[in-house]
Structure 1
């Protein structure tokens, strides 16, 4: 399997990942022969060589179903991040390459404790959500606006353990994209219902979260 990143890109990624504060684990679930599984494993293995604070573990979705259930992964390739061996709610379905490498770097740094500042009132509003919420962000790897939406969703998930946030590569999961009527990206769904279109600010995400009916 060819490397995903060339030497120049690896050096740039290493410089960014040097900002990590605490150890994390990257967990990727695969199935033999399924599209992009090998590529995602190669990508995460390469990343894990760039900083000793990153540990990478590969699981088989079927054979290791007990872990898939534990980490709430239901598709391949599916990747999540653990902090202190606990799931963060951050998930990547597909390969976070192209513009989505920015979302991946953001998730790794934020999970490690290198957090970006956020107004206290916004943090408080996110932490007040006391029901289980799933945020799906459908993306295209060629979309320059998609990472902003993904990063907002990840920021929210990292602040509240009740919330999962998923990047979904729309062209890889075409049946799911058709089910949700995806014809432009980024498209964001909250518990598979209320949606936003475009790279909206975090305030709009919070507004949707507050209006959810459970």
Structure 2
């Protein structure tokens, strides 16, 4: 058990506002790493998520194969576990968390479920409007660790971008679980958010939402930082 009885009660109360059905799709492997793939804490992730979805009837969990699932193949997913968070019945796949959302990142998971389950992102109206300038695909990867108190702010900022614009792919990445991916982007501290589009931007630290909006616009437009 990941959540004791007291924490279960607290989380159940936190999730109570959720009205829209939300599904968590977790892509896992058989434990065998294929070329280009990294495998993290799959069993722990599934165990935690099962406990969370049991606390609200509007939440559901589905486990699929990273190797053989058509959606995983179409999305080019290569890290297990990868969690897709979305409204049930939606074909959106642009809000993701790679790894175990534990420690401080547990709050990221709860806030993401609330955002999807209530339709409220808490992103300012001007930022929502400006975000529509992102017309070319942008990927925002927020590298985090469970012990970093500033990391949830970065991941949630990217999730808000993806929530309001389908051209944005937002990924929270547990940096310790996926060292190869972290080394690819020279991650030396967290939170560190890589924004890739027609150009690449980098956001260090837990910055205000506005910084993420502007970085996404620049990356989409091909503006060099």
Fold equivalence (TM over 0.5): yes
Rounded to whole Å, the distance in 2 between the matches of 1:116 and 1:165 is: 14
Q: State the Cα deviation string for residues 74-98 of structure 1 (Å, max 9, x = none).
A: 3101001122332251101010010
Which residue among 14, 17, 25 is the counterpart of 1:16?
Answer: 14
Matched pairs, number: 211
Q: CA RMSD in A?
A: 1.6
Most deviating of 186-195 and 111-120: 111-120
Rounded to whole Å, the distance in 1 between the matches of 2:102 and 2:6 is: 15
Q: Which residue of 1 aligns with 2:82?
A: 78
Rounded to whole Å, the distance in 1 between the matches of 2:27 and 2:2 is: 18
Q: Which residue of 1 aligns with 2:71?
A: 67
Helix, strand or coil at the partner of 1:29: strand
- The answer (yes or no) to whether the contact 1:99–1:144 under 8 Å persists in 2 is yes
Helix, strand or coil at the partner of 2:190: coil
Q: Which residue of 2 aligns with 1:165?
A: 170
Structure 1 length-normalised TM: 0.93
Q: Report the alpha carbon displacement of residue 7 of structure 1 after superposing the two structures with TM.
A: 1.5
1:204 aligns with 2:202: no
Q: State the Cα deviation string for residues 104-148 of structure 1 (Å, max 9, x = none).
A: 011101011251433321110112211111000000110000001
Helix, strand or coil at the partner of 1:184: coil
- The answer (yes or no) to whether the contact 2:24–2:83 under 8 Å persists in 1 is yes
Q: Report the alpha carbon displacement of residue 72 of structure 1 after superposing the two structures with TM.
A: 5.4
Where do 5+ consecutive residues of structure 2 fail to align?
32-38
- The answer (yes or no) to whether the contact 2:123–2:160 under 8 Å persists in 1 is no
Q: State the Cα deviation string for residues 131-182 of structure 1 (Å, max 9, x = none).
A: 1110000001100000011111101110011111001011111111111111
Rounded to whole Å, the distance in 2 between the matches of 1:53 and 1:154 is: 20
